[in-house]
Amino acid sequence: MIQPDASIVILTGAGMSAESGVPTFRGVDGLWEGHRIEDVASPGGFARDPDLVHRFYNLRRAALNHVEPNAGHLALARLESEWRGRFLLVTQNVDDLHERAGSEKLIHMHGELRKARCEGCGAVMSWTQDLASGTRCRACGEIGGMRPHIVWFGEFPFEMDVILAALKRADLFLCIGTSGVVYPAAGFAQIAAERPNCHLIEMNLESTAISRQFHEHIVGPAAIELPKLVERLLAKR
């Protein structure tokens, strides 16, 4: 049974934003919008062809102007504001739909499309325009060091210490819309499961690489199923 002051950790993946119109990653062709993942999402790919990588993320950043949070994002923001216990929302998504829905206790472990970083001075800044090889850093004024504030393959996700500490004290771990193939996020269920009596729920359209680790499976679209689950959790107050 989940107590009304339980500590909740939630992990979201691309399926969370699917009904808002943001495409998921792993299509049947193994390509990411026509590109090999290593070409557009690795430090090596960026070094080989920075203009291709900038174009790729510029398109994705611009597409955020045409999407809105769905009922699932809104339900998670409501859960955060009304829940008595500890709460942490961790997303692998680089869109900003959780914060637009009102979520605040939120970690973007794979970075954010609407931020840019200077590899010269290290400054991280909000960024809604296009980036290019010739973009000047707003902090140090140098040209040539700007990149998307995105975690690429081979790089460390952000705020792992905070995430691991929260997982180790979680009473409920809820995993929504992720295929469970990209680590370290794919290992979070196993960490949460080490805590006695932590309840693990997976919400997805289908079974995944990590489904067997969960106690409860909710099969269906997040925008439909999450409002119902949040209602059920808040009814315990």
Is 110 one of the catalytic residues? Answer: yes
Shortest distance, CB of residue 154 to ligand OAD, whole angstroms? 10
Q: Tell me how far CA of residue 118 lies from CA of 74, 140, 153, in angstroms.
A: 33, 8, 19
**AA letter at 162:** V
Instruction: Choose the catalytic residue: 98, 108, 110, 149.
Output: 110
Identity of the residue, 177 or 227, whose beta carbon is nearer to ligand OAD in the bound complex: 177
Nearer to ligand OAD, 7 or 163 (CB): 163
* Residue nearest ligand OAD by beta-carbon distance: 15
Nearer to ligand OAD, 7 or 112 (CB): 112
Of the pair 190, 197, the CB lying nearest ligand OAD is at 190
- Asked if 14 contacts 221 with a C-beta cutoff of 8 angstroms, the reply is no
The nearest distance, CB 96 to ligand OAD, in angstroms, is: 14
Task: Report whether 12 contacts 178 (CB < 8 A).
Answer: yes
Smallest distance from ligand OAD to CB 19, Å:
5
Place of tokens 């209602």: 231
Contacts of 161 (CB under 8 A, 6+ apart): none
Could you tell me the smallest distance in angstroms from the CB atom of residue 172 to ligand OAD? 18
Q: Which residues pair with 226 in a beta bridge?
A: none
Amino acid (1-letter code) at residue 36: R
Q: How far is CA 104 from CA 17, 73, 165, 180, in A?
A: 17, 12, 18, 24
- Residues forming contacts to ligand OAD in the complex (CB under 6 A) are 13-15, 18-19, 24-26, 41, 92, 110, 151, 177-179, 182, 203-206, 208, 221-222
Structure tokens at 77: 């923001």
Point out the residues that are catalytic.
110
